[in-house]
Structure 1
């Protein structure tokens, strides 16, 4: 089986629980560390799937690798190679497919509920689950590209996730581990402090209580299991 390519855009936003999920199933994957200057592949055909992680930058920034990743996403979708995006990664997928990434009404940092759409498509991905606590860290949001179906929504961000055939784009984070949460709170301490007046922002202490992680991991397993079912050979 060809490996899954996982694109990391900043050192502290690695694959987290996704890596544990793939390793437990002996599914090969390759980390492409954009933050260390690794090159974006020219074509997607060498991989069974593409995963794009988060990052503090905007997809609207003038960074050379952004345009390259957008082209790679289009190449993968054209070749029916599943793509998966977390936060910035979901925004990259949206922009590549003709959506718009813009400022969210509020900064959203910490745990918060997301609702699962009451659709047949959503039930394929998440069964009868109707709501769960996801982890959030974003100031921008994406629109749904043509043909996409909303999967998740939230009180502070209408588009928390969508599907388009075998492709999954998420604004929220399902890949979190206790180590990731701790490192993000450390790296983002100034951002947390600057936005504590927002109803959608929690303190680092509250974020690290970790009580929601088992449920989040169960949700991630459902979503990742559905996504890998369509991996290319």
Structure 2
């Protein structure tokens, strides 16, 4: 299997997604469309991973629109996709859902609650890393997968092979440090979780997050 990753900013990498791919001995390619303007084709993609970033799907940027053309082609080919934060928003917008300002800006660690039992053996409550102030509408025909205390639309399952999350299960310890030290001012501006970058780093990554990330990827690629 060839796993193609779209990484939009240097400090938000694939984290445990790469660990999962390595354990399965899958080929792993990382593209940087914002920097190089290069995207894979649907023909050379078996699994598409769309990561987060500070931009919005509503931005009038050529590469953002080109990325959605790839997402549309992946949907038409019924190939698996996983999107985190911006990635989840890009999938949602591709199928006609709106991307809106969230009622609360969430930056830091906070619980999310499972809302659908389609994917087996997921915990009812998990602690995830949030780093956003926009959100997606749940696409038509998709299932609401996760909610948080402040923002209802935290995740969706579209069909049996596409997952979009508003938050992050993929970061490992070093990824959290990289996110926080490079985007140090973002947690300080109107953050409804009231956490600083230092507190976010000190929290640590719950061990179960990697297991859940693996289960999500296993489900959409089964």
Return the TM-score normalized by structure 2.
0.94
For 1:34 and 1:115, the matched residues in 2 are separated by 32
Match of 2:52 in 1: 54
- Aligned-residue CA RMSD in angstroms? 1.4
For 1:91 and 1:126, the matched residues in 2 are separated by 24
Q: Does 1:21 align with 2:20?
A: yes
For 2:184 and 2:30, the matched residues in 1 are separated by 27
Return the TM-score normalized by structure 1.
0.90
Match of 1:133 in 2: 127
For 2:167 and 2:58, the matched residues in 1 are separated by 19
For 1:128 and 1:220, the matched residues in 2 are separated by 10
Q: Write out per-residue CA displacement over residues 88-115 of structure 1, whole angstroms, 9 at most, x where no aligned residue.
A: 0000000001100010011100110000
For 1:26 and 1:104, the matched residues in 2 are separated by 38
For 2:10 and 2:93, the matched residues in 1 are separated by 23
For 1:212 and 1:40, the matched residues in 2 are separated by 31
Q: Bigger CA drift: 171-180 or 91-100?
A: 171-180
Match of 1:69 in 2: 67
Report how many residues are paired: 221
For 1:128 and 1:55, the matched residues in 2 are separated by 26
Q: Write out per-residue CA displacement over residues 1-53 of structure 1, whole angstroms, 9 at most, x where no aligned residue.
A: 3x111001111111111111111111112111124314123x41211111100
For 1:69 and 1:103, the matched residues in 2 are separated by 21
Q: Does 1:167 align with 2:165?
A: no
Q: CA deviation at 1:143?
A: 0.3
Match of 2:200 in 1: 207
Match of 2:147 in 1: 153
Match of 2:4 in 1: 5
For 2:130 and 2:57, the matched residues in 1 are separated by 17
User: Deviating runs (4+, > 4 A) in structure 1?
Assistant: none
Match of 1:224 in 2: 217
